[in-house]
Amino acid sequence: MIKPVGSDTLNPLFVYDSEEHHKLMHEAESLPSIMISSQAAGNAVMMGAGYFNPLKGFMNVADAMGAAEKMTLTDGSFFPVPVLCLVESADSLGGAKRIALRDPNMEGNPVLAIMDIENIETVTDEQMAVMTDKVYRTADPEHPGVAAFNGQGRTAISGPIQVLHFSYFQDDFPDTFRTAVEIRNEIAERGWKKVVAFQTRNPMHLAHEELCHMAMDRLGCDGLVIHMLLGKLKKGDIPAPVRDAAIRKMVEVYFKPNSAMVTGYGFDMLYAGPREAVLHAYFRQNMGATHFIIGRDHAGVGDYYGAFDAQTIFDDEVPAGALEIEIFRADHTAWSKKLNKVVMMCEAEDHQKEDFVLLSGTKVREMLGNGIAPPKEFSRPEVAQILINYYQSLN
């Protein structure tokens, strides 16, 4: 199986030993605690689950700046984005060196992790501007990722963590949330050697389904891991339980047995386009995938990124040898009226735009809200019915 990034074995930061876990939970009750941001909580979950291997905890400012500017930490290791714990103030900690981090996304704000503090630093406006520019390629406050990143405090608390909980993800999505450890184990149990991963934050229409089949066929893969984002999205995105139901129905009906896994991970979407595509590849390698599908405007939002920037960044900016996972580069896929099948649009010779079945997201939402299924060339009827039920429930 493909090795994790930066180590021979996966080193999740979740405390799995039940006796040690109980002891730490008891200790946490007596420690000074601080509420962290939703973004920091997502980072803690990803470290706990092994996706951010081999990070040991939250970065200090020097490492965060290195990740932003060169995708390289001060020790020379590779990481594509800053992983910071930013708070408004650390004054309430009173100089403590060991603290509890509390979850902002669950009722009662339970302890998410324990941290051994190595540094408490102030992030300057200039440093925030540099990180924002390098990671998001824009300073526009309307960009949802820029708004979330800059909406945190300017005090960075860094140090190793021991993760005690997977936030709401394991509770709310018990059938879907999987750690990198669990996915690696299931890949091994299924006997898959060559595995392609597909990222989604939306239900999968016919074009997405066929893109996965294309990638599997062309790469000669044993299996596909559909890996959906379960964390916070932008307004208007379809809730995770609805996406989950739609995708599971598609796999049940249209994929061969033992050819596809439906899984999810807990993280707040960055919408950082190219840089987030590298992060997505990073943690897919950690979960055991050998290949990763990156399509047009992967992880983008609005018009901030070029159509294929998320692919070319692997050629132009990712340090040589940083990742072993291979990228499957895709264009838009759509139903060809000429060929009566889904094709990658860049491979369809002698086609004009009108030769494809193309529907805007607005049009699809309007149809679903009115109880009308999109054409079979766009969406599987079983999937469409689940989405119709959701949209009509909003009326």
Question: Known catalytic residues?
Answer: 201-202
What helix, strand, coil percent values describe the chain, rounded to 5? 40, 20, 45
Side-chain half-sphere exposure of 158, counting CA atoms within 13 A: 18
User: Is 269 in contact with 229 (CB distance < 8 Å)?
Assistant: yes
Token reading at 181: 């450890």
The CA distance from 262 to 294, in Å, is 18
- At residue 336, φ and ψ (nearest 5 deg) are -90, 120
The CA distance from 226 to 224, in Å, is 6
Residues facing residue 341 across a β-bridge: 336
Measured in residues, the chain has a length of 395
How many separate helices (H) and strands (E) can be counted in the chain? 13, 15
- At residue 276, φ and ψ (nearest 5 deg) are -70, -30
| Prior bond of 54 cis (ω within 30°) | yes
For residue 253, give every residue at least 6 positions away whose Cβ sits within 8 Å of its Cβ, in sequence order, or none.
380, 382
User: Is 161 in contact with 44 (CB distance < 8 Å)?
Assistant: yes
Question: Crossing angle for the helix pair 274-286 and 125-136, nearest 10 degrees?
Answer: 80
Token reading at 52: 């951010």
Token reading at 322: 């940083």
The CA distance from 362 to 244, in Å, is 21
Residues facing residue 84 across a β-bridge: none
The CA distance from 151 to 86, in Å, is 10
DSSP H or E run through 257: none
What does the DSSP 8-state code read for residue 263? E
The CA distance from 222 to 229, in Å, is 23
